[in-house]
Amino acid sequence: MAAFGIHFGTCSACLAVYKDGQTDVIANDLGDRVTPCVVAFTEFEQSVGAAAKQGIIRNAQNTICHVKQVIGKDFNDPSIQDYMKTWPVTVSII
């Protein structure tokens, strides 16, 4: 039997695979076993993880982080809307 698990921490995430009685945390493209939970957008590209985190200061208005607190929640919940007001980026339902 094989299985995988995703761990979402407050600031980072990781993916582990269980196969043949062994568990392995998968490394990302930089070789790190944890990846920052950050997504950034510019006019020309989208970046995730460490690349997005590196640009968080100069591109704050287009960078999303700390999403763990809203995953699985009702977007229209007043507490979620209040929380998202603290973000420098505008989030909406498409």
- pLDDT 10s digits, 20-76: 999 999 999 999 999 999 999 999 999 999 999 998 889 989 998 888 888 889 999
Yes or no: is domain 2-84 CATH 1.10.8.80?
no
Contacts with 80 (C-beta within 8 Å, 6 or more apart), sequence order: 70, 73, 74
Q: How many CA atoms lie within 13 A of 81 on its CB side?
A: 6
Segment 3-25 shows an average pLDDT of: 95
Q: Are 13 and 32 in contact (CB under 8 A)?
A: no
Question: In which band, very low, low, confident or very high, does the pLDDT at 91 lie, cut at 50, 70 and 90?
Answer: confident
Q: Categorize the per-residue pLDDT at 84 as very low, low, confident or very high, splitting at 50, 70 and 90.
A: confident
Can you give the C-alpha Rg of the chain in angstroms?
16
pTM for this predicted structure: 0.75
Contact 79, 70 (CB under 8 A): no
Give mean pLDDT, residues 3-10.
93
pLDDT of 6 strictly over 90: yes
